[in-house]
Amino acid sequence: MLATPSATAPVALMRDVSHTVQLGTTNLTILNNISLEIARGSWVALTGPSGSGKSTLLGILAGLDTPSHGHVRLNDVDITSMGEPQLARLRNQTIGVVFQAFNLIPTMTAQENVEAPLFVHRNRSDISQRAKAMLELVGLGDRRDHRPAQLSGGQQQRVAIARALVTTPQLLIADEPTGNLDSATSKQILDLFADLRRQLNITIVMVTHDPDVAARADRQLYLVDGQIRHDSARAE
Protein backbone atom coordinates (compact mmCIF):
# COMPACT_ATOMS: atom_id res chain seq x y z
CA MET A 1 0.00 0.00 0.00
CA LEU A 2 1.12 3.54 -0.72
CA ALA A 3 1.12 5.99 2.17
CA THR A 4 -1.74 8.49 2.36
CA PRO A 5 -0.24 11.92 1.59
CA SER A 6 -0.16 14.45 4.41
CA ALA A 7 -2.09 17.61 3.52
CA THR A 8 0.90 19.79 4.39
CA ALA A 9 3.73 17.80 2.79
CA PRO A 10 4.92 19.17 -0.57
CA VAL A 11 3.32 17.23 -3.41
CA ALA A 12 6.78 16.87 -4.94
CA LEU A 13 10.28 17.44 -3.66
CA MET A 14 13.75 17.22 -5.20
CA ARG A 15 16.92 17.02 -3.12
CA ASP A 16 20.37 17.56 -4.66
CA VAL A 17 19.23 16.24 -8.03
CA SER A 18 21.84 16.05 -10.76
CA HIS A 19 21.48 14.32 -14.08
CA THR A 20 24.34 13.37 -16.35
CA VAL A 21 24.32 11.50 -19.64
CA GLN A 22 27.28 9.98 -21.40
CA LEU A 23 27.92 11.26 -24.92
CA GLY A 24 30.74 9.22 -26.43
CA THR A 25 33.64 9.64 -24.05
CA THR A 26 32.34 12.79 -22.35
CA ASN A 27 29.74 13.26 -19.62
CA LEU A 28 27.11 15.91 -20.24
CA THR A 29 25.56 17.43 -17.11
CA ILE A 30 21.92 18.28 -17.85
CA LEU A 31 20.76 19.08 -14.30
CA ASN A 32 23.19 20.36 -11.72
CA ASN A 33 22.35 19.95 -8.03
CA ILE A 34 18.73 21.03 -7.95
CA SER A 35 16.74 21.16 -4.72
CA LEU A 36 13.11 22.15 -4.97
CA GLU A 37 9.79 21.81 -3.17
CA ILE A 38 6.46 22.03 -4.98
CA ALA A 39 3.76 23.14 -2.54
CA ARG A 40 0.39 21.37 -2.71
CA GLY A 41 -2.10 23.43 -4.71
CA SER A 42 0.51 25.72 -6.28
CA TRP A 43 0.89 26.57 -9.99
CA VAL A 44 4.54 26.62 -11.01
CA ALA A 45 5.98 27.76 -14.35
CA LEU A 46 9.36 26.44 -15.41
CA THR A 47 11.08 28.74 -17.90
CA GLY A 48 14.56 29.14 -19.33
CA PRO A 49 16.49 29.03 -22.59
CA SER A 50 16.31 26.09 -24.99
CA GLY A 51 18.49 23.24 -23.73
CA SER A 52 18.55 24.49 -20.12
CA GLY A 53 17.05 21.21 -18.84
CA LYS A 54 13.35 22.06 -18.39
CA SER A 55 11.90 18.91 -19.99
CA THR A 56 14.49 16.75 -18.25
CA LEU A 57 13.53 18.24 -14.87
CA LEU A 58 9.83 17.68 -15.65
CA GLY A 59 10.47 14.04 -16.63
CA ILE A 60 12.40 13.39 -13.40
CA LEU A 61 9.71 15.11 -11.31
CA ALA A 62 7.10 12.88 -12.97
CA GLY A 63 9.10 9.73 -12.25
CA LEU A 64 9.51 9.08 -15.98
CA ASP A 65 13.28 9.32 -15.68
CA THR A 66 15.62 8.52 -12.77
CA PRO A 67 18.27 11.12 -11.85
CA SER A 68 21.92 10.06 -11.74
CA HIS A 69 22.20 11.63 -8.29
CA GLY A 70 19.85 12.88 -5.57
CA HIS A 71 16.33 12.09 -4.44
CA VAL A 72 12.80 12.78 -5.62
CA ARG A 73 9.79 12.43 -3.34
CA LEU A 74 6.19 12.35 -4.54
CA ASN A 75 3.57 12.66 -1.82
CA ASP A 76 6.34 12.13 0.73
CA VAL A 77 7.42 8.83 -0.83
CA ASP A 78 10.97 8.50 -2.18
CA ILE A 79 10.61 7.31 -5.77
CA THR A 80 14.30 7.25 -6.66
CA SER A 81 14.85 3.71 -5.44
CA MET A 82 11.42 2.38 -6.42
CA GLY A 83 11.03 -0.53 -8.83
CA GLU A 84 9.14 0.10 -12.08
CA PRO A 85 5.83 -1.68 -11.24
CA GLN A 86 5.43 0.25 -7.97
CA LEU A 87 6.55 3.49 -9.64
CA ALA A 88 4.09 3.00 -12.51
CA ARG A 89 1.27 2.59 -9.99
CA LEU A 90 2.33 5.70 -8.07
CA ARG A 91 2.55 7.68 -11.34
CA ASN A 92 -0.89 6.53 -12.40
CA GLN A 93 -2.37 7.62 -9.05
CA THR A 94 -0.45 10.83 -8.53
CA ILE A 95 0.45 12.40 -11.87
CA GLY A 96 -1.29 13.51 -15.05
CA VAL A 97 0.81 14.61 -18.03
CA VAL A 98 -0.07 16.97 -20.90
CA PHE A 99 2.21 17.59 -23.89
CA GLN A 100 2.52 20.32 -26.51
CA ALA A 101 1.56 17.88 -29.30
CA PHE A 102 -1.56 16.55 -27.44
CA ASN A 103 -0.49 12.91 -28.15
CA LEU A 104 -4.05 11.59 -28.53
CA ILE A 105 -4.66 8.22 -30.18
CA PRO A 106 -6.00 9.18 -33.63
CA THR A 107 -8.20 6.09 -34.15
CA MET A 108 -10.02 6.58 -30.84
CA THR A 109 -12.86 8.98 -30.07
CA ALA A 110 -12.48 11.68 -27.43
CA GLN A 111 -14.41 9.45 -24.99
CA GLU A 112 -12.14 6.45 -25.69
CA ASN A 113 -8.97 8.55 -25.33
CA VAL A 114 -10.11 9.75 -21.90
CA GLU A 115 -11.14 6.23 -20.83
CA ALA A 116 -7.72 4.76 -21.74
CA PRO A 117 -5.80 5.48 -18.47
CA LEU A 118 -8.64 4.01 -16.41
CA PHE A 119 -8.27 0.55 -17.90
CA VAL A 120 -5.05 -0.01 -15.92
CA HIS A 121 -6.60 -0.85 -12.58
CA ARG A 122 -9.98 0.71 -11.95
CA ASN A 123 -13.29 -1.00 -11.59
CA ARG A 124 -14.43 -1.10 -15.23
CA SER A 125 -18.08 -0.40 -14.51
CA ASP A 126 -17.61 3.31 -13.86
CA ILE A 127 -15.05 4.01 -16.61
CA SER A 128 -17.52 5.34 -19.13
CA GLN A 129 -19.24 7.62 -16.59
CA ARG A 130 -15.96 9.01 -15.27
CA ALA A 131 -14.64 9.81 -18.74
CA LYS A 132 -17.96 11.41 -19.72
CA ALA A 133 -17.96 13.59 -16.57
CA MET A 134 -14.35 14.65 -17.21
CA LEU A 135 -15.10 15.64 -20.83
CA GLU A 136 -18.05 17.68 -19.55
CA LEU A 137 -15.77 19.37 -17.02
CA VAL A 138 -13.40 20.50 -19.81
CA GLY A 139 -16.35 21.75 -21.89
CA LEU A 140 -16.48 18.94 -24.46
CA GLY A 141 -19.60 17.05 -23.41
CA ASP A 142 -20.94 17.41 -26.96
CA ARG A 143 -17.75 16.16 -28.69
CA ARG A 144 -17.40 12.74 -27.06
CA ASP A 145 -17.75 10.79 -30.30
CA HIS A 146 -15.34 12.94 -32.33
CA ARG A 147 -11.92 11.63 -33.28
CA PRO A 148 -8.88 13.95 -32.77
CA ALA A 149 -8.79 14.94 -36.46
CA GLN A 150 -12.39 16.17 -36.12
CA LEU A 151 -11.43 18.51 -33.27
CA SER A 152 -9.64 21.88 -33.21
CA GLY A 153 -6.19 22.15 -31.57
CA GLY A 154 -7.71 23.72 -28.44
CA GLN A 155 -10.34 20.98 -28.26
CA GLN A 156 -7.68 18.28 -28.67
CA GLN A 157 -5.73 19.81 -25.79
CA ARG A 158 -8.92 19.79 -23.68
CA VAL A 159 -9.29 16.05 -24.40
CA ALA A 160 -5.63 15.55 -23.41
CA ILE A 161 -6.24 17.47 -20.17
CA ALA A 162 -9.35 15.37 -19.45
CA ARG A 163 -7.28 12.22 -20.07
CA ALA A 164 -4.54 13.49 -17.73
CA LEU A 165 -6.99 14.26 -14.92
CA VAL A 166 -9.45 11.36 -15.20
CA THR A 167 -7.36 9.29 -12.76
CA THR A 168 -7.72 12.12 -10.16
CA PRO A 169 -3.98 12.84 -9.85
CA GLN A 170 -2.75 15.51 -7.45
CA LEU A 171 -0.07 16.83 -9.80
CA LEU A 172 -0.57 17.96 -13.40
CA ILE A 173 2.68 18.11 -15.38
CA ALA A 174 2.45 20.07 -18.62
CA ASP A 175 5.27 20.43 -21.17
CA GLU A 176 4.55 23.52 -23.34
CA PRO A 177 0.77 22.91 -23.09
CA THR A 178 -0.05 25.96 -25.23
CA GLY A 179 2.94 25.72 -27.59
CA ASN A 180 0.80 24.60 -30.56
CA LEU A 181 -2.09 26.99 -29.94
CA ASP A 182 -2.87 30.57 -31.02
CA SER A 183 -2.98 33.20 -28.28
CA ALA A 184 -6.79 33.25 -27.85
CA THR A 185 -6.95 29.45 -27.56
CA SER A 186 -3.93 29.47 -25.23
CA LYS A 187 -5.76 31.84 -22.93
CA GLN A 188 -8.79 29.52 -22.89
CA ILE A 189 -6.59 26.55 -21.97
CA LEU A 190 -4.91 28.55 -19.18
CA ASP A 191 -8.35 29.67 -17.92
CA LEU A 192 -9.30 25.97 -17.89
CA PHE A 193 -6.13 25.18 -15.87
CA ALA A 194 -7.13 27.88 -13.36
CA ASP A 195 -10.70 26.47 -13.11
CA LEU A 196 -9.55 22.88 -12.74
CA ARG A 197 -6.96 23.83 -10.17
CA ARG A 198 -9.68 25.44 -8.07
CA GLN A 199 -12.30 22.74 -8.60
CA LEU A 200 -10.05 19.68 -8.27
CA ASN A 201 -7.43 21.17 -5.94
CA ILE A 202 -4.57 20.05 -8.18
CA THR A 203 -0.99 21.29 -8.33
CA ILE A 204 0.31 22.34 -11.76
CA VAL A 205 3.91 22.37 -12.97
CA MET A 206 4.26 23.57 -16.55
CA VAL A 207 7.15 24.31 -18.88
CA THR A 208 6.74 27.33 -21.15
CA HIS A 209 8.82 29.66 -23.29
CA ASP A 210 6.09 32.28 -23.26
CA PRO A 211 6.34 34.98 -20.54
CA ASP A 212 2.56 35.67 -20.75
CA VAL A 213 1.84 31.99 -20.11
CA ALA A 214 4.37 31.87 -17.25
CA ALA A 215 2.71 34.93 -15.71
CA ARG A 216 -0.45 32.90 -15.09
CA ALA A 217 1.42 30.75 -12.58
CA ASP A 218 1.93 31.86 -8.98
CA ARG A 219 5.58 30.82 -8.92
CA GLN A 220 8.18 31.09 -11.68
CA LEU A 221 11.42 29.11 -11.82
CA TYR A 222 14.09 30.16 -14.33
CA LEU A 223 16.51 27.45 -15.33
CA VAL A 224 19.93 28.12 -16.90
CA ASP A 225 22.48 25.38 -17.66
CA GLY A 226 20.67 22.85 -15.49
CA GLN A 227 20.50 25.12 -12.43
CA ILE A 228 17.71 27.22 -10.95
CA ARG A 229 18.94 30.75 -11.60
CA HIS A 230 15.83 32.46 -10.25
CA ASP A 231 12.89 31.34 -8.09
CA SER A 232 10.14 33.95 -7.70
CA ALA A 233 9.16 32.30 -4.39
CA ARG A 234 12.58 33.32 -3.04
CA ALA A 235 12.66 36.79 -4.57
CA GLU A 236 12.41 39.91 -2.41
Ligand X SMILES: Nc1ncnc2c1ncn2[C@@H]1O[C@H](COP(=O)(O)OP(=O)(O)OP(=O)(O)O)[C@@H](O)[C@H]1O
For residue 75, the minimal CB distance to ligand X (Å) is: 24
Question: Whole-angstrom Cα distance, residue 153 to residue 127?
Answer: 25
Q: Which of 14, 36, 54, 110 binds ligand X (CB under 6 A)?
A: 54
Question: Do the beta carbons of residue 165 and residue 196 sit within 8 Å?
Answer: yes
**Piece in contact with ligand X (CB under 6 A), picked from 53-61, 100-108, 110-118, 151-159:** 53-61
Question: Whole-angstrom Cα distance, residue 167 to residue 173?
Answer: 14
For residue 34, the minimal CB distance to ligand X (Å) is: 12
**β-strand pairing of 203-207 with 43-47:** parallel
The reply on whether position 93 binds ligand X by CB under 6 A is no
Q: Which of 32, 42, 55, 232 binds ligand X (CB under 6 A)?
A: 55
Residue 12 pairs in a beta bridge with 38, 74
The reply on whether position 52 binds ligand X by CB under 6 A is yes
**Piece in contact with ligand X (CB under 6 A), picked from 54-62, 92-100, 101-109, 228-236:** 54-62
The reply on whether position 214 binds ligand X by CB under 6 A is no
Question: Whole-angstrom Cα distance, residue 85 to residue 70?
Answer: 21
For residue 50, the minimal CB distance to ligand X (Å) is: 3
The reply on whether position 51 binds ligand X by CB under 6 A is yes
Cβ-count burial 184-207 (b if 16+ within 10 Å, e if not): ebbbebbebbeebbeeeebbbbbb
> Site residues (CB under 6 A) for ligand X?
21, 23, 28, 30, 48, 50-56
